[in-house]
Structure 1
Amino acid sequence: MRINPIEFHICNLSYTIRSAKENDAKNLSEIRLQIDGETENMDREKGEAYIDEVGFKQLIKEDTKSVHNLFLVCESNGRIVGFSRCEGNQLKRMSHKVEFGVCVLKDLWGYSIGTNFLKETIRWADKNEIKKVTLNVLETNEKAIMLYKKYGFEEEGVLKKDKLLSDGNYYNTVIMGRFNE
Structure 2
Amino acid sequence: MIINEQEFFVKGQQYVIRSAREEDAKELSEVRVQIDGETENMDRERGEAFIDESGFTQIIQTDTVSTRNLFLVAVVENQIVGFSRCEGIYLSRFAHKVEFGVCVVKDFWGYGIGKNLLQESISWADANGIKKITLNVLETNEKAIKLYQDLGFEIEGILKKDKILSDGNYYNTVMMGRFME
Matching of residue 145 in structure 1 with residue 145 in structure 2:
yes
User: What residue number does 1:43 align with?
Assistant: 43
Query: Aligned AA for 2:126?
Result: D
Gaps of at least 5 residues in structure 2 are none
User: What residue number does 1:177 align with?
Assistant: 177
RMSD across aligned positions (CA): 0.4
What do residues 121-143 of structure 1 show as CA deviations (whole Å, max 9, x unaligned)? Answer: 00000000000000000000000
User: What residue number does 2:110 align with?
Assistant: 110
Task: State the shift of 1:11 in Å.
Answer: 1.4
User: What residue number does 1:81 align with?
Assistant: 81
**Counterparts of residues 42-61 of structure 1 (less than 5 Å):** 42-61=42-61
What do residues 53-84 of structure 1 show as CA deviations (whole Å, max 9, x unaligned)? Answer: 00000000000111000000000011100000
Query: Aligned AA for 2:107?
Result: D
Q: Tell me how far apart the structure 1 counterparts of residues 79 and 152 of structure 2 sit (CA, whole Å).
A: 31
Q: Tell me how far apart the structure 2 counterparts of residues 95 and 60 of structure 1 sit (CA, whole Å).
A: 20
After TM superposition, the runs of 4+ consecutive aligned structure 1 residues lying more than 4 A away are none
Q: TM-score, normalised by structure 2?
A: 0.99
Q: Tell me how far apart the structure 1 counterparts of residues 162 and 143 of structure 2 sit (CA, whole Å).
A: 19
Gaps of at least 5 residues in structure 1 are none
**Counterparts of residues 22-37 of structure 1 (less than 5 Å):** 22-37=22-37
User: What residue number does 2:7 align with?
Assistant: 7
Determine helix, strand or coil for the equivalent of 1:37: helix
% of aligned pairs identical? 69
What do residues 31-73 of structure 1 show as CA deviations (whole Å, max 9, x unaligned)? Answer: 0000000000000000000000000000000001110000000
Task: State the shift of 1:12 in Å.
Answer: 1.4
Task: State the shift of 1:94 in Å.
Answer: 0.3
User: What residue number does 2:135 align with?
Assistant: 135
What do residues 65-124 of structure 1 show as CA deviations (whole Å, max 9, x unaligned)? Answer: 110000000000111000000000111110000000000000000000000001000000
Determine helix, strand or coil for the equivalent of 2:38: coil
Determine helix, strand or coil for the equivalent of 1:162: strand
